[in-house]
């Protein structure tokens, strides 16, 4: 049945930030608005929340009776997030008629989430806005002072690099959105709750309103499997860590057996580590691994092309899981049943469904799942808390038992949590960054800083408080099908916190022993390489310039291996950069062997050799080698109709390489500045200049 009215919230999110904002909008809507004259036989809820790829068919947009709100980020070199890529391709189809695909009655708003320190700041949000207008839709008159131009009503551009962070945009966008919806759709919706209209940002951020947004899931305790003596001291400290660790491992193993395939996400399957070799010296600061995996199911076809990634779903590290139970004093064996919250709060107003990923809900809704399993697989314990988390954490004071002592401490914690959750002014945002972002303080450490508040939260409610699951991490496959090899640089660094910071997925993989099962799946990301032009079966396909500093060389190893199976005479140029020729020169022997066969021209840049140890401006990087070899570059791109592929960090390298390619076209090809810029732009538009970068 076509709904008489609904608000559609569509998100595209790579790291979870945009999704979190979309979920917050959906929960706000549930508490602010209800339908008028709701037909009793209509099953549709007031809010429809989904990722962009799950909104199908695209033509349904033309028939939406209410407003559509997009919340999206940008990844790679101006690419949409993976969970928006399919929707994006359909929306950008050139066959969609201009001005006639959508009716002018379709109202929409776009909220972009980005970082202006990157070149392609909020590119997806801006292009989405223009495309919707181009196809005939009308922007919601949401007033946004931070849009590119005054006429861009309904376009909000949130900037993590702003003095107030994302809040600078959100505090304008959110109240304006709901006030606009109520004004323009007053015949269909009406306000509910205690907040007065027009809605103000302070009201949306009040502790009372934040507390009313919970819970996301319906939860209850179920039977507990006894697994040993807890040995509690004062209710929240474990006397014997070994007993606790064994208890956690035993309980998690028992619950893992409930799932024949990985619990989440649905696309995941079991891979098994067959080799895990450190390829940098043991005394070198960077631990880099070459890890080979196989599908546990031998019947699973592993037929993939170069440019594909292995999406790894990590589990929390053992010490973090142990730390969670130590700081909360929870019993790891407590089992909870979790179901999607779908009950009707008011006549004609249903709450949003927040579904558990993969096969988790099916298990959780029957016999339940243990806290030990959730802490290992679901709670994102290593994540950096957001402002929204602190607001929801402060709301936990509603569970404070009567007669609780330490009133002064409790009040202090509550006030501090509200400060962090409502940080809007430049000084408050700086205070938030100083406590959370700069030291990269994780969730477990925050819980330890607020022991009273932590103790108030019932065991079954943690799934409504903590974020999860941990994001899957994409790793470029560094080998040709059917072998799956990953080049993994273990992320570790220091802040002012006592404990070094660690990358969850890289540490998880590096610790994996031979035989360890890993939840993962193979995919082609929206920002990934398309090597099809250079993988033809002719004896000598067009050559490529491959630019891959550090672990950025991984996809090029897969490409070269695959290409030489079908075209042994293929020739490519590889610009590889690292710090030291004797420490992190990945796959040196392979490159030298290919060069000896005449299949490869290798150009290296070792940034910390030759007296370039301390002064950054004197170091040699791949972009410098490109400038030093203009004839070589032009012989591939200008004369042989070749392509250029770049992989690495998105911050400075891609722009510096592009400038170097332009300079090579001028010097090697004799082009003017204008001609060289046009030449590279044409390479980009034709797919012969591609970059796969990460932030």
In this predicted structure, what is the pLDDT of residue 231?
44
**Does residue 191 contact residue 35 with C-beta atoms inside 8 Å?**
no
CA-based nearest residue to 520, from 240, 264, 186: 264
pLDDT, tens digit, 9 for 90 and up, residues 79-132 = 899 899 999 999 999 999 999 999 999 999 999 999 998 888 999 999 999 999
**Does residue 328 contact residue 6 with C-beta atoms inside 8 Å?**
no
- pLDDT of residue 437 exceeding 50, the answer is yes
The SS3 assignment for 294 reads: strand
What percentage of the chain exceeds 70 in pLDDT? 90
Q: How confident is the model at residue 345 (pLDDT cuts 50, 70, 90)?
A: very low
In this predicted structure, what is the pLDDT of residue 612?
56
DSSP 113: E
In this predicted structure, what is the pLDDT of residue 239?
58
CA–CA distance, 174 with 657 (Å, rounded to integer): 39
- pLDDT of residue 570 exceeding 60, the answer is yes
pLDDT, tens digit, 9 for 90 and up, residues 136-171 = 999 999 977 544 555 578 999 999 888 888 888 999
Q: 309 phi and psi, to 5 degrees?
A: -125, 155
- pLDDT of residue 664 exceeding 70, the answer is yes
Best-predicted range by mean pLDDT (47-51, 251-255, 289-293, 497-501): 289-293
Q: Which residue spans of the chain are classified as CATH 3.40.50.360?
A: 7-204
In this predicted structure, what is the pLDDT of residue 525?
80
CA-based nearest residue to 18, from 89, 69, 78, 86: 69
Question: Hey, how many other C-beta atoms are within 10 angstroms of the C-beta on 638?
Answer: 17
- pLDDT of residue 235 exceeding 50, the answer is no
Pick the CATH number of 236-465 from 3.20.20.70, 3.40.1350.10, 1.20.990.10, 3.40.50.1980: 1.20.990.10
> Does the predicted TM-score (pTM) go above 0.85?
yes
Name which of 1-15, 312-326, 413-427, 584-598 the model is least confident about. 1-15
Distance of CA 234 to the CA centre of its chain: 39
Terminal Cα distance for the chain, rounded = 43
Best-predicted range by mean pLDDT (253-257, 373-377, 684-688): 373-377
DSSP 477: B
Count of residues for the chain?
A: 695
Q: How confident is the model at residue 388 (pLDDT cuts 50, 70, 90)?
A: confident
Pairing of strands 309-313, 473-476: antiparallel
CA-based nearest residue to 586, from 518, 491, 485, 515: 485
Q: What is the CA radius of gyration of the chain?
A: 27
Residue 235, sorted as left (phi over 0), alpha (psi -120 to 50) or beta, turns out to be left
In this predicted structure, what is the pLDDT of residue 172?
92
- pLDDT of residue 237 exceeding 60, the answer is no
pLDDT, tens digit, 9 for 90 and up, residues 409-426 = 999 999 999 999 888 888
The CA distances from residue 352 to 16, 29, 38, 214, 364, in Å, are 18, 9, 17, 11, 19
In this predicted structure, what is the pLDDT of residue 43?
43
Mean pLDDT of 461-465: 91
Q: Spell out the alpha helix ranges (H) of 293-450.
A: 318-328, 360-364, 371-373, 387-394, 407-421, 426-432, 443-449
In this predicted structure, what is the pLDDT of residue 354?
67
Q: Which residue spans of the chain are classified as CATH 3.40.50.80?
A: 532-694
Sign of CA dihedral 463, 467, 470, 473: positive
Q: How many CA atoms lie less than 13 Å away from 682 in the CB half-sphere?
A: 11
Structure tokens at 90: 């359909």
Pick the CATH number of 532-694 from 3.90.1010.10, 3.30.70.260, 3.40.50.80, 3.30.530.20: 3.40.50.80
Name which of 86-100, 110-124, 203-217, 306-320 the model is least confident about. 203-217
CA–CA distance, 67 with 49 (Å, rounded to integer): 12
Q: Which numeric CATH code is attached to 7-204?
A: 3.40.50.360
In this predicted structure, what is the pLDDT of residue 639?
80
pLDDT, tens digit, 9 for 90 and up, residues 503-561 = 999 999 999 999 999 999 999 887 778 888 777 666 678 999 999 999 999 999 999 99
Q: Which residue spans of the chain are classified as CATH 1.20.990.10?
A: 236-465
CA-based nearest residue to 486, from 500, 504, 506: 506
CA-based nearest residue to 109, from 147, 73, 140, 134: 140
In this predicted structure, what is the pLDDT of residue 196?
80
**Does residue 634 contact residue 668 with C-beta atoms inside 8 Å?**
yes
What is the average pLDDT value for the chain, to the nearest integer? 87
Name which of 44-48, 464-468, 510-514, 661-665 the model is least confident about. 44-48
CA–CA distance, 589 with 601 (Å, rounded to integer): 14
User: What string of DSSP letters covers 114-135?
Assistant: E-TTSTTTTHHHHHHHHHHHHT
pLDDT, tens digit, 9 for 90 and up, residues 355-384 = 777 677 777 767 789 999 999 999 999 999
pLDDT, tens digit, 9 for 90 and up, residues 188-199 = 888 877 778 888
**Does residue 570 contact residue 540 with C-beta atoms inside 8 Å?**
yes
What ranges make up the beta strands (E) of 74-209?
107-114, 138-139, 155-159, 189-191
Pairing of strands 517-523, 309-313: antiparallel
In this predicted structure, what is the pLDDT of residue 227?
46
Q: 244 phi and psi, to 5 degrees?
A: -65, -45
Higher pLDDT, 418 or 39: 418
**Does residue 632 contact residue 640 with C-beta atoms inside 8 Å?**
no
């Amino acid at each position: 049945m076509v709904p008489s009215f609904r608000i559609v919230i569509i998100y595209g999110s790579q790291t979870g930030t945009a999704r979190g904002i979309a979920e917050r909008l959906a929960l706000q809507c549930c508490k602010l608005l209800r339908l008028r004259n709701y037909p009793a036989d209509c099953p549709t809820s007031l809010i429809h929340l989904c990722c962009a790829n799950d909104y199908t068919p695209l033509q349904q947009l033309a028939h939406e009776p209410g407003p559509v709100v997009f919340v999206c980020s940008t990844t790679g070199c101006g690419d949409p997030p993976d969970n928006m890529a399919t929707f994006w391709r359909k929306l950008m189809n050139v066959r969609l008629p201009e001005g006639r695909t959508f009716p002018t009655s379709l109202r929409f708003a776009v909220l972009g989430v980005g970082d202006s320190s990157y070149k392609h700041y909020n590119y997806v949000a801006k292009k989405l806005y223009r495309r919707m207008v181009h196809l005939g839709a009308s922007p919601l008159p949401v007033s946004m002072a931070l849009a590119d131009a005054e006429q861009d009503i309904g376009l909000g551009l949130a900037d993590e690099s702003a003095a107030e962070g994302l809040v600078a945009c959100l505090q304008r966008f959110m109240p304006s959105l709901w006030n606009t919806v109520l004004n323009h759709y007053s015949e269909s919706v009406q306000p509910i709750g205690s907040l007065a209209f027009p809605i103000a940002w302070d009201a949306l951020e009040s502790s009372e309103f934040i507390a009313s947004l919970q819970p996301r899931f319906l939860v209850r305790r179920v039977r507990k499997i006894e697994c040993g003596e807890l040995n509690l001291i004062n209710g929240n400290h474990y006397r014997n860590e070994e007993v606790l660790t064994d208890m956690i491992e035993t309980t998690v193993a028992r619950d893992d057996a409930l799932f024949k395939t990985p619990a989440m996400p649905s696309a995941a399957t079991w891979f098994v580590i067959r080799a895990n070799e450190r390829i940098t010296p043991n005394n070198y600061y960077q631990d880099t691994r070459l890890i080979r995996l196989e599908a546990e199911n031998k019947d699973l076809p592993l037929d993939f092309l170069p440019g594909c990634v292995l999406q790894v779903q990590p589990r929390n590290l053992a010490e973090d899981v142990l730390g969670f139970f130590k700081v909360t004093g929870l019993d790891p064996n407590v089992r909870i049943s979790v179901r999607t919250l779908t009950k009707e709060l008011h006549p004609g107003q249903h709450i949003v469904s927040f579904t558990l990923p993969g096969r988790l809900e099916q298990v959780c809704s029957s016999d339940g799942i243990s806290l030990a399993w959730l802490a290992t697989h679901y709670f994102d314990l290593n994540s950096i808390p957001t402002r929204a988390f602190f607001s929801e954490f402060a709301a936990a004071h509603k569970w404070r038992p009567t007669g609780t002592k330490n009133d002064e401490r409790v009040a202090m914690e509550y006030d501090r949590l509200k400060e962090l959750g409502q940080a809007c002014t430049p000084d408050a945002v700086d205070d938030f960054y100083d406590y959370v972002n700069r030291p990269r303080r994780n969730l477990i450490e925050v819980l330890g800083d607020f022991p009273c508040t932590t103790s108030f939260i019932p065991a079954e409610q943690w799934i409504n408080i903590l974020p999860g699951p941990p994001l899957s991490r994409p790793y470029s496959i560094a080998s040709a099908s059917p072998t799956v090899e990953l080049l993994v640089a273990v992320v570790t660094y220091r802040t002012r916190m006592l404990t070094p910071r660690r990358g969850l997925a890289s540490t998880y993989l590096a610790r994996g022993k031979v035989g360890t099962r890993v939840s993962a799946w193979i995919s082609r990301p929206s920002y990934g390489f398309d090597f099809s032009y250079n993988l033809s079966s002719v004896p000598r396909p067009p050559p490529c310039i491959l630019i891959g500093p550090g672990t950025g060389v991984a996809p090029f190893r897969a490409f070269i291996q695959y290409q030489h199976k079908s075209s042994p005479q293929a020739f490519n140029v590889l610009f590889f950069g690292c710090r030291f020729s004797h420490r992190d020169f990945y796959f040196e022997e392979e490159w030298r062997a290919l060069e000896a066969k005449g299949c490869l021209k290798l150009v290296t840049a070792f940034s910390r050799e030759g007296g370039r140890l301390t002064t950054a401006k004197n170091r040699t990087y791949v972009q410098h080698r490109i400038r030093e070899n203009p004839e070589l570059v032009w012989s591939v791109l200008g004369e042989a109709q070749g392509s250029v592929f770049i992989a690495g960090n998105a911050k400075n390298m891609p722009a510096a390489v592009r400038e170097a390619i332009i300079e090579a076209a001028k010097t090697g090809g004799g082009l003017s500045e204008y001609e060289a810029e046009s030449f590279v732009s044409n390479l980009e538009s034709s797919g012969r200049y591609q970059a796969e970068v990460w932030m």
